[in-house]
Amino acid sequence: MKAYELALDHIEEGILSGRYEVGSILPPERELATQLGIGRSSVREAIRALESQGVLDSAVGAGPASGTRVTSDQSRALTRLLKLHVSLGKYPVDDVVEARVSLERGSAALASTHATADALARLAEVVGAMEAAESIAEFSPLDTGFHVLIAEVSENTLISDLTRAVREALLRPIARASARMADWPGFRDGLNEQHRRIFAAIQAGDPDAAADLMEHHIRHAYSILPMNGAMP
């Protein structure tokens, strides 16, 4: 085991055991290095790794705000890590479809029971923007945004983070597949009609309809998109 991994395991164990909670300040690097019998550079490397994961935050200086503190920026960190792993994973298309169906059926159903007037207005705005989009470059980010926004409206942070990670990882592969289609405008029009129906079910507060329409939408899209067996 590398020296920095000793420090990494020590800090992670402290977090998992509850010794270090959100807001806790870690012992100084020198103290951790002495305790673990490793160099300060190895402790620093472990801290940097956990900072990149949104687990720690370091502030240089003196006073109560200085030092390395346990933080909780899980949404940004989880989304970034999952997005990269999904992008590198080359998952079979069928696996991607089933994962999306599992996530987005739930988010659509929850959104239909949690959507506020403001959330519905934002969804309506995205639906309108998708209908006005004339190119793949315009449409694809809006399409991703529509699905992510539904997940956010569900008020389930984990579902929202997972959905954002998967959708953002698939943004470019879906755009590339769309560019290979002979009739992308027709495909876009079909998706827009499905988006309108999903939005209408959420607006009507009908969780069963919203979930069923979302599942149909996802399966229909992948049945037409010219994918190459694995994604991304």
CATH code (residue 221): 1.20.120.530
Q: Does residue 197 share a domain with residue 122?
A: yes
Are 154 and 109 within one domain? Answer: yes
Give the residue from 70, 88, 111 where a domain finishes.
70
Q: Structural domain tally of the chain?
A: 2
- Do 137 and 119 fall within a single domain? yes
Please check whether residues 91 and 206 belong to one and the same domain.
Answer: yes
pLDDT value of position 232: 63
**pLDDT in 10s for each residue of the chain, 232 residues:** 788 899 999 999 999 999 999 889 999 999 999 999 999 999 999 999 998 888 898 887 555 667 899 987 777 777 777 777 777 877 788 888 899 999 999 999 999 999 999 999 999 999 999 999 999 999 999 999 999 999 999 999 889 988 988 888 888 889 989 999 999 999 999 999 999 999 999 999 999 999 999 999 999 999 999 976 666 6
- Say whether both 66 and 79 belong to one domain: no
Token pair listed for 58: 């370091």
What per-residue confidence (pLDDT) applies to 76?
A: 74
> Which residues constitute the domain of residue 66?
3-70
- pLDDT value for 110: 97
CATH number at residue 49: 1.10.10.10
Within this chain, do residues 104 and 180 fall inside the same structural domain, yes or no? yes
Residues 61 and 83 in one domain: no
Same domain, yes or no, for 91 and 152?
yes
Residues 32 and 131 in one domain: no
> Which pTM was predicted?
0.77
Whole-number pLDDT of residue 96: 86
Q: Does 135 lie in the same domain as 84? A: yes
Q: Which of 70, 88, 110 is the last residue of a domain?
A: 70
Residues 148 and 189 in one domain: yes
* pLDDT of 133: 97
